[in-house]
Amino acid sequence: MKLVPNRECGSCTICCHHIPINQPDFVKLPNVDCEHLLKKGGCSIYQTRPATCAGWYCAWRFSDVIKDDWRPDKLGALIDISLNGVPDDFHTKEGIVIKILDKNKAFSNDDFLKFIAIMVNRGTAVTLSFGLDPGYSAASAFLNYELMPAVKKGTKKAILEVINGIMDQLEKFPKIKYRIEDGKLVTD
């Protein structure tokens, strides 16, 4: 994977907190700090970290479509590329998943709203994900079909109305609780 030059994780530890890991050699619940995460940032087992971590970067690290100042902790959202859940009628099989970490920060950023609108308009599948409770999964909603009429209208107000409505639904949606049993992530 080719990373964008001059972008470093620095003090961002978002992925080491939010992402669940379910590997034979290491298990971590979603939305909790990894036990190997150092207080100052960075990984205490960097050389031997699990494959999930070693091969994973958020889109900010490898896509220059994502703006320089959109490091997830600064943007209030973690953008990931995903091949899962893209409907068959989409011409591109690569979609983006946007996990909202701080909705006030993220959605007060006009450029970020524009980015979402451009992605929807050009036919990239966009999934919004929200849920920050420790040990619980986030809930997700596919944005494109619902957001497209507002994108065509082209006003920030229309786009925000739809996004806020979807965020309300995601907040209410029951989340799945995970626990660790016999070295594996399981649900009830």
Q: What residues make contact with ligand SF4 under the rule CB under 6 A? A: 9, 12-16, 34, 36-37, 43, 45, 49-50, 53, 57-58, 60-61, 71-72, 78
C-beta of 161: minimal distance to ligand SF4 in Å? 29
C-beta of 94: minimal distance to ligand SF4 in Å? 18
Q: Which is nearer to ligand SF4, 60 or 107 (CB)?
A: 60
C-beta of 182: minimal distance to ligand SF4 in Å? 20
Residue 16, number of CB atoms within 10 A of its CB? 22
- Whole-angstrom CA distances from 120 to 41, 69, 129 are 34, 22, 16
For every residue of 39-77, DSSP letters joined together read TTSSBTTGGG--HHHHT---HHHH-TTS-TT--HHHHTE
Q: Which is nearer to ligand SF4, 80 or 150 (CB)?
A: 80
Q: Which is nearer to ligand SF4, 30 or 95 (CB)?
A: 30
- Whole-angstrom CA distances from 75 to 12, 15, 31, 45, 175 are 11, 14, 18, 27, 24
Q: Which is nearer to ligand SF4, 3 or 83 (CB)?
A: 3
Structural contact between residues 14 and 138, judged by C-beta atoms closer than 8 angstroms: no
By CB atoms closer than 10 A (0-12, 13-18, 19+), residue 81 is middle
C-beta of 62: minimal distance to ligand SF4 in Å? 9
C-beta of 157: minimal distance to ligand SF4 in Å? 30
Q: Which is nearer to ligand SF4, 9 or 151 (CB)?
A: 9
